Chain A
């Protein structure tokens, strides 16, 4: 055991003591130094403690703010000898709020209006406006999809399609837009089948239980084990911030979760089966909201697949016919009777040897192989079918009792266990009472997780909301509230927020209002005392200043489309297929035909998510790894980001679209062009210096481009001034000011 493990092992023993799991006679083995008096043997430790509303503390600087969030934070700041940063500029603030809630840049006109009257009332009005915007759901659903590692394919070695998963994606968007109470959102996703009142809409949420990545296993029991572990793991981490999977093979090394708790939790899911089943489209879904459009799209998809199939069949039979003729078989002979038949193998050999076929024919043959591949093939015919991933408890393995498995090995059964909650919360290891239960035992679990007295659920969710606004949670490891996580210096603030959350009827939008109106949120990202304060709190745990935020991958792509004027705000439905370099698709290997341009210009959340081939732009900007739950995205700067943002066809096209519209409006007015680019991208006027640089750039580039053209330089700079303007737009879309929030 490494030193570091030993350290945590000792802590864990102390915790087990605290919850009374360890027998008393074990105390001789406990290191007396570690078992210090700080841990009261009868008291659970935060966040396992009962949630009670803490009193808003007293602070010295009463004038700063009366907002309870601010007072909680200020209290800690004063204790540390720190002071909060001044407020951010109105421009920075509006950008922060709009990117935070909707994930798109402000419209220049709206920015101008706000700058004329940046009063608190106007600020609140903007918050309401953004919360009412459909784009809010699209932005915040993405956070949730990160957690459940949403994808349109199943991943693993075969990566088959999950063609109905988009209904779950749309469901999450709706849930956020409708501000569905979070406790209900939890219940729907765990056990909607046992809550008839949630109807078909709720049942779409059950697809959460079907996000697992299957592995090719030779032993079927292992597949089942993988599935159960996945479900338990996600339930623990996403809803309660507990790394349950650690307890599968051994008692949790850091947190008060004995292995038996893991299997008691698993027992809730033991009879669970998830599969694609008929589920009529609900009145909220795009199929019924806009039936005409839906019909058109469905027909277009059918036509496309039929056309492709026809071409494939014709090409293949033509090739076979060609081969058959070469063999000089009697022309009248039926292909089936002709001996030997022209089989696929023979055809394949003939093609690969390029003897009988020319280059184009070989290419067509290879394309058909990719189009008809069994694996990683997103060209599924079922996208539009009224089906969804439905959970039900199967009588086939309806055995409530399950077993603790030694080392997680399904062959090594130990004690039988029945469904039960965390012993650290309930204080005992009693099984739940299943008497009189109608429906799945998951119903009990869902009720328990979403109950106001569950100490973890509300704390974990308010911390997530905080994280998505601040770039970092009060508990930085937002899916691990355990001892081995980051912990927090703000447990009182989390508790206060959690109590408000529950009191508001689990309203996420109410949490936004609360957080966004605080001065802590509105702080500037620079502080006059930076140098001194970084000595005291270099990690800014106490929140004396706002941390810089880089836009996430999807926000970057959506914002580029918004700025270029090409964003298509159509909502919902099966995913659109992006344009990806053919070479990359071939290496994956997979194949699809890009959707029509206007479809490709929809928001990124509607883009096809294939686990075995992440979109390069999304990947390099730290998009969520779709194989595992992603509670916190990385923020890295890597060179391939330049390839995606500076050199790619997508960015070039968007810059070109911008340039074209600028030229239409401003003609030869170079300064006007520059001002408008700045307004669109940065929502401000350029400084004099910037204006000077940019106009010089445009004039000089234009002159040199013309000269190069005359000198016969082969580059396709033939667009003349528009080409240079495209370059300017591209440069601004690559600027740090565009990608970072101040």
Chain B
């Protein structure tokens, strides 16, 4: 990254004759600091109290790194969102009993009044790792890393429509308008690298996310906590780089002039604490123009690494690219990366659908875990895998004829967590004999949220924000930490 760092000190030389004699103290500081970036300046001003008098000092620099509530190894989190909701009984929760019932009718109404039949899993399971944990055949590569995974089979959630459940998984509420998990993490911990967005969303290359941008919204938290959508193809961030033709030198000159004018204004408005922040943002934005493409430039990775993530094959290329980008970002201090993989909504033909999804994500995710481990980053990177809800054990007659699938089910879903100090090689909780309902050590989405916060060193009861007449938190009235995962 450093070789792409813009040389801000150039600006001094480019305006001979414009001597700072007429300018005030801050101006000189600005010049002095400009080689290192304006951050140096702001921190100096912070120290000498120039900013301490402003009203909302706690909100003023919400991105500054903050200590966690208690020490934990995890520094970053990568959330692999399997959008559409994967099936628990075809991935990590084998149900041999269900196979026996395959094709047998069930008296139950779901959606329409149509006759329904049980659906056995079309996939074989086998035991892997030291703990001998069952993993479906759709994840042959991931199965090799099963000793890193803490698999929670006993999760359930509150809603079972895609959009509301996606909101719920991301924000703890089915109604849009609450801050997302990533925003809470940024609010609690700040970021380690201001040259990159602190909270990044990598959408599926095929399309949108159920509910769109409200899923990475800061809502009422400070705007700096919002997620930034990075397009895996094309320009990464809208308007990060001007779409009209302008050279970097030209931009640099524009910023230099802007800085000069703003410095003057700063001197005549000492009580305005926002001015420096705004000036700093122009420098940051300018540096992001090179820092973001640099973080996303997977071309610099070795052939070995690229292969590890499946970049050598068409079917794994899209997911592999995103996983590799995620590693490059957490390496650079990005706090929260959310990767979406669409297409798990297998109402029909789960055999084909899930097999295809497995093909797409298996190698990239296994590669991500291995790569992080090899680089010694796995311990400080929490990985979370799962969808917005689970699936049913039965399907309608119609689909049964063409190739059975599974419907939505909020009573049981499977998640796994890895890295970030998670105790791997474990299976937590259990569903009933057909996998339709979590029955042992049952945990709710809110508990999952509390657990993720805990793994990042945050106490969900302490991480609050006063809004709308009360102190709000991600878990609403609180969640239980899943002890088997964190200890």
- Whether A625 contacts B177 by the Cβ 8 Å rule is yes
**Hey, which chain A residues are within 8 Å of B55, CB to CB?**
538-540, 547
Complex partner residue of B212 from A526, A613, A646, A697, CB under 8 angstroms: A613
Q: A216-B163, A548-B272 are in contact. Are A586 and B254 (CB under 8 A)?
A: no
Complex Cα distance, B160 from A218, in Å, reads: 9
Q: A157-B163, A634-B222, A697-B257 are in contact. Are A526 and B269 (CB under 8 A)?
A: yes
- Whether A641 contacts B281 by the Cβ 8 Å rule is yes
Chain A interface mostly helix, strand, loop or mixed? Answer: loop
**Hey, which chain B residues are within 8 Å of A728, CB to CB?**
257
A 242-258 contacts with B by CB, 8 A: 243, 245-246, 253-254
Chain A minimum-CB-distance residue to B220: A625
Complex partner residue of B282 from A243, A646, A693, A717, CB under 8 angstroms: A646
B 193-219 contacts with A by CB, 8 A: 194, 197, 203, 207-214, 217, 219
Is there a chain B Cβ closer than 8 Å to A326's Cβ?
A: no
Complex partner residue of A637 from B17, B244, B260, B274, CB under 8 angstroms: B274
Chain B minimum-CB-distance residue to A4: B471
Is there a chain A Cβ closer than 8 Å to B159's Cβ?
A: yes
Complex partner residue of B209 from A583, A587, A696, A732, CB under 8 angstroms: A587
Report the stretch among B245-253, B329-337, B391-399, B424-432 that lies at the interface. Answer: B245-253
**Hey, which chain B residues are within 8 Å of A243, CB to CB?**
468-470
0/1 interface trace, chain B 155-171, chain A, CB 8 Å (1 if under): 00001111110010000
Is there a chain A Cβ closer than 8 Å to B46's Cβ?
A: no
Complex Cα distance, B17 from A647, in Å, reads: 29
Complex partner residue of A216 from B17, B161, B261, CB under 8 angstroms: B161
- Whether B258 contacts A735 by the Cβ 8 Å rule is yes
Q: In the complex, what's the smallest C-beta–C-beta distance from A231 to chain B, in angstroms?
A: 15
**Hey, which chain B residues are within 8 Å of A704, CB to CB?**
249
Is there a chain B Cβ closer than 8 Å to A627's Cβ?
A: yes
Q: In the complex, what's the smallest C-beta–C-beta distance from B200 to chain A, in angstroms?
A: 13
Is there a chain B Cβ closer than 8 Å to A520's Cβ?
A: no
- Whether A628 contacts B468 by the Cβ 8 Å rule is yes
Q: A480-B469, A646-B285, A736-B278 are in contact. Are A742 and B262 (CB under 8 A)?
A: no
Q: A652-B244, A730-B254, A737-B265 are in contact. Are A586 and B207 (CB under 8 A)?
A: yes
Chain B minimum-CB-distance residue to A650: B239
- Whether B176 contacts A637 by the Cβ 8 Å rule is no
Chain A minimum-CB-distance residue to B228: A640
Q: How many A-B residue pairs have CB under 8 A?
A: 240
- Whether A736 contacts B262 by the Cβ 8 Å rule is yes
- Whether A701 contacts B161 by the Cβ 8 Å rule is no
0/1 interface trace, chain A 627-647, chain B, CB 8 Å (1 if under): 110000011111111111011
Complex partner residue of B53 from A216, A534, A731, CB under 8 angstroms: A534
B 230-277 contacts with A by CB, 8 A: 231, 234-235, 237-247, 249-250, 253-254, 257-258, 260-262, 264-266, 268-272, 274-275, 277
- Whether B224 contacts A638 by the Cβ 8 Å rule is yes
Is there a chain A Cβ closer than 8 Å to B461's Cβ?
A: yes
Complex Cα distance, B210 from A715, in Å, reads: 39
- Whether B164 contacts A216 by the Cβ 8 Å rule is yes
Is there a chain B Cβ closer than 8 Å to A525's Cβ?
A: yes
- Whether A613 contacts B222 by the Cβ 8 Å rule is no
Q: In the complex, what's the smallest C-beta–C-beta distance from A339 to chain B, in angstroms?
A: 18
**Hey, which chain B residues are within 8 Å of A587, CB to CB?**
203, 207-209, 212-213, 229
**Hey, which chain B residues are within 8 Å of A218, CB to CB?**
160
Is there a chain B Cβ closer than 8 Å to A578's Cβ?
A: no
Complex Cα distance, B203 from A253, in Å, reads: 41
**Hey, which chain B residues are within 8 Å of A82, CB to CB?**
none
- Whether A526 contacts B469 by the Cβ 8 Å rule is no
Is there a chain B Cβ closer than 8 Å to A689's Cβ?
A: yes
**Hey, which chain A residues are within 8 Å of B280, CB to CB?**
637
Chain B minimum-CB-distance residue to A534: B53
Chain A minimum-CB-distance residue to B461: A2
Q: In the complex, what's the smallest C-beta–C-beta distance from B118 to chain A, in angstroms?
A: 23
Is there a chain B Cβ closer than 8 Å to A305's Cβ?
A: no
Q: In the complex, what's the smallest C-beta–C-beta distance from B370 to chain A, in angstroms?
A: 30
Chain B minimum-CB-distance residue to A546: B271
Most interface-central of B17, B177, B261, B282 (chain A CB within 10 A): B261
- Whether B281 contacts A637 by the Cβ 8 Å rule is yes
- Whether B213 contacts A613 by the Cβ 8 Å rule is yes
A 233-279 contacts with B by CB, 8 A: 243, 245-246, 253-254
Is there a chain B Cβ closer than 8 Å to A133's Cβ?
A: no
- Whether B224 contacts A636 by the Cβ 8 Å rule is yes
Q: How large is the interface on A (under 10, 10 to 19, 20 to 34, 35 or more residues)?
A: 35 or more
Q: A538-B53, A696-B15 are in contact. Are A643 and B240 (CB under 8 A)?
A: yes
Complex Cα distance, B129 from A539, in Å, reads: 60
- Whether A717 contacts B242 by the Cβ 8 Å rule is no
Is there a chain A Cβ closer than 8 Å to B151's Cβ?
A: no
- Whether A484 contacts B469 by the Cβ 8 Å rule is yes
- Whether B257 contacts A740 by the Cβ 8 Å rule is no
- Whether A727 contacts B250 by the Cβ 8 Å rule is yes
Is there a chain A Cβ closer than 8 Å to B175's Cβ?
A: yes
Chain A minimum-CB-distance residue to B18: A693
- Whether A584 contacts B238 by the Cβ 8 Å rule is yes
Complex Cα distance, B167 from A142, in Å, reads: 28
Complex Cα distance, B215 from A589, in Å, reads: 13
Complex partner residue of A156 from B175, B265, B279, CB under 8 angstroms: B175
Q: In the complex, what's the smallest C-beta–C-beta distance from B196 to chain A, in angstroms?
A: 10
- Whether A642 contacts B257 by the Cβ 8 Å rule is no
Is there a chain B Cβ closer than 8 Å to A509's Cβ?
A: no
Complex Cα distance, B15 from A587, in Å, reads: 43
Q: In the complex, what's the smallest C-beta–C-beta distance from B204 to chain A, in angstroms?
A: 10
Is there a chain B Cβ closer than 8 Å to A430's Cβ?
A: no
Chain B minimum-CB-distance residue to A740: B272
**Hey, which chain A residues are within 8 Å of B282, CB to CB?**
642, 646, 734
Complex Cα distance, B23 from A692, in Å, reads: 14
Complex Cα distance, B244 from A639, in Å, reads: 20
- Whether B222 contacts A636 by the Cβ 8 Å rule is yes
Q: In the complex, what's the smallest C-beta–C-beta distance from B202 to chain A, in angstroms?
A: 11
Is there a chain B Cβ closer than 8 Å to A713's Cβ?
A: yes
B 133-166 contacts with A by CB, 8 A: 159-164
Q: In the complex, what's the smallest C-beta–C-beta distance from B238 to chain A, in angstroms?
A: 5
**Hey, which chain B residues are within 8 Å of A38, CB to CB?**
none
Report the stretch among A191-199, A329-337, A599-607, A614-622 that lies at the interface. Answer: A614-622
Is there a chain B Cβ closer than 8 Å to A363's Cβ?
A: no
- Whether B243 contacts A649 by the Cβ 8 Å rule is yes
- Whether A583 contacts B238 by the Cβ 8 Å rule is yes
Q: In the complex, what's the smallest C-beta–C-beta distance from A576 to chain B, in angstroms?
A: 20
Q: A612-B213, A689-B22 are in contact. Are A647 and B241 (CB under 8 A)?
A: yes
- Whether A735 contacts B262 by the Cβ 8 Å rule is yes
**Hey, which chain B residues are within 8 Å of A648, CB to CB?**
239
**Hey, which chain A residues are within 8 Å of B281, CB to CB?**
637-639, 641-642
Chain A minimum-CB-distance residue to B210: A157
Is there a chain B Cβ closer than 8 Å to A690's Cβ?
A: yes
Complex Cα distance, B231 from A451, in Å, reads: 55
Is there a chain A Cβ closer than 8 Å to B174's Cβ?
A: yes
Complex Cα distance, B18 from A693, in Å, reads: 8
**5 A-B pairs with the lowest CB-CB distances in the bound complex, closest first:** A243-B469, A157-B163, A627-B177, A716-B245, A589-B208
A to B CB contacts below 8 Å, 20 in the list: A156-B175, A156-B176, A484-B469, A525-B272, A526-B271, A540-B55, A587-B203, A588-B212, A627-B219, A637-B277, A639-B285, A641-B278, A642-B281, A646-B282, A693-B257, A693-B261, A701-B253, A717-B246, A734-B258, A740-B275
Q: Which residues of A contact B (CB under 8 A)?
A: 2, 4, 155-158, 213, 215-216, 218, 243, 245-246, 253-254, 376, 480, 482, 484-485, 525-527, 530, 534, 538-540, 545, 547-548, 550, 581, 583-584, 586-590, 611-614, 616, 620, 622, 625, 627-628, 634-644, 646-649, 652, 687, 689-690, 692-694, 696-697, 701, 704-705, 708, 713-717, 727-728, 730-732, 734-737, 739-740, 742
Q: Which residues of B contact A (CB under 8 A)?
A: 15, 17-18, 22, 53, 55, 59, 62, 159-164, 167, 174-177, 194, 197, 203, 207-214, 217, 219-220, 222-224, 226, 228-229, 231, 234-235, 237-247, 249-250, 253-254, 257-258, 260-262, 264-266, 268-272, 274-275, 277-282, 284-285, 288, 461, 468-471
